[in-house]
Amino acid sequence: MLIRTASDVTTRDLPSDITTKSAYLNRRQWMQQSMALGLLGGVGQAWANPSIVAPGKLPALASKHTDIDGAMAADVPTAYTYASTYNNFYEFGTDKADPMRSAHTLKTKPWTLEIEGLVKKPLRLGLEEVMKLGAMEERIYRMRCVEGWSMVIPWIGFSLSALIKHADPLGSAKFVEFVTLADPKTMPFVGSRILEWPYVEGLRMDEAMHPLTLLTFGMYGEILPNQNGAPLRLTVPWKYGFKNAKSLVKIRFTEKQPATAWNKAAAQEYGFYSNVNPNVDHPRWSQATERRIGEDGLFNKKRKTLMFNGYESQVASLYSGMDLSKNF
């Protein structure tokens, strides 16, 4: 069967070294203890309540340990509750609670990913075929939104490079363009004038091939909830969150730099690269600091944003010799 159902996903073999729910529970316990010690402080003792563990309503997605350098952030993961209720997914509305409320209409089965452009042979792959192109790994990444807040999310997926190798792009391919679903029937804001639809993102080939660039199918031990970009999305941890295109339908190899959604909407505010950079301000706010969702109390000072979101030692070489304030 080409397209497998949810139950197929759950009954797949579980390697022994997946991150178990008890591991998350330990992290939660750690967090509660820190709260008790007043390390995290802030208004909300209540912040100890939102659970780090996924509620278990979605099928589990097995994964193994990763050996990729920098792929397991030591930060405390953000509560699942926050990661799944505070989302920017403009196809479903501009309020961060809109995706959680409206994305249930997204139909993720069957799902086809098209691979086209400068490749030897264009491909149309069912989701299950895509999922077999690499071994699922859990990666704990920091996620820094361009708006000045951040989360830490345990994603599940494999390096995009595995798919690119399978796609076998031509030597002339210099960029990868990511096209996301734009279905006006299920996505109420497709057609609004906020952005040009479909939402398009892009990476330079070397960025796309970087082992940290993750083709993502799950989070917190489960398949992705719709509001987080089910059934597959991109996660590039050293770039601002909007680079992580959700609900991918097409991957296109191009010679020219793709015209990306936010860059088309406001070129002076959002550049093609959009690497996390505390030294380059957004025109309307500073990018020097950020608020970690659920962890930094209301009255805590915001924490310092790290160059390349803390992935400098892994990715800085990609940009050597580039003026990052011009190529923001």
Partner 1 sequence: MHLQVGMNWRTLFVSPWAKPVVMFLMALPAVWLVYAAFNDLLGANPAEALTRSTGDWTLRALCLVLVITPLRVLTGTPALQRFRRILGVGTFIYACLHMLCYAWFDQGLDFNDIWRDILKRPFIWLGFSGLVCMLPMAATSFNAAIRYLGVKRWQMLHRLVYAVAVLAVLHFFWMRAGKNNFAEVAVYAAILGSLLGWRVRQALKSR
| Near partner 1 by CB under 8 A: residue from 266, 279, 313, 322 | 266
Is 82 a binding residue for partner 1 by CB under 8 A? The answer is yes
Q: Which is nearer to partner 1, 93 or 218 (CB)?
A: 93
Residues in the chain: 328
Is 278 a binding residue for partner 1 by CB under 8 A? The answer is no
Segment 133 to 192, residues that bind partner 1, using CB under 8 A = 148-149
Is 298 a binding residue for partner 1 by CB under 8 A? The answer is yes
Instruction: Tell me the CB-side half-sphere exposure of residue 13, using CA atoms within 13 A.
Output: 6
| Near partner 1 by CB under 8 A: residue from 24, 80, 86, 155 | 86
Is 285 a binding residue for partner 1 by CB under 8 A? The answer is yes
Q: Which is nearer to partner 1, 49 or 279 (CB)?
A: 49
Is 62 a binding residue for partner 1 by CB under 8 A? The answer is no
Distances (CA, A) of 83 to 102, 154, 297: 16, 10, 17
Is 120 a binding residue for partner 1 by CB under 8 A? The answer is no
3-state SS assignment for residue 22? helix
Of 40, 47, 42, 38, which is closest to residue 75 (Cα–Cα)? 40
Residues 15 and 150 sit within 8 Å (Cβ to Cβ): no
Rounded Cα distance between 261 and 268, Å, is 13
Residues 245 and 180 sit within 8 Å (Cβ to Cβ): yes
Give the DSSP per-residue string, 250-277: EEEEESSPP--HHHHH-TTT--SS-B--
Q: Which is nearer to partner 1, 208 or 293 (CB)?
A: 293
Residues 251 and 209 sit within 8 Å (Cβ to Cβ): no
Distance of closest approach, residue 74 Cβ to partner 1, in angstroms: 22
| Near partner 1 by CB under 8 A: residue from 10, 85, 112, 186 | 85
Q: Which is nearer to partner 1, 36 or 266 (CB)?
A: 266
Report the interface residues with partner 1, using CB under 8 A: 43-44, 46-47, 49, 81-82, 85-86, 94, 96-97, 148-149, 193-195, 265-266, 269, 283-286, 291, 293-294, 298-299, 301-302
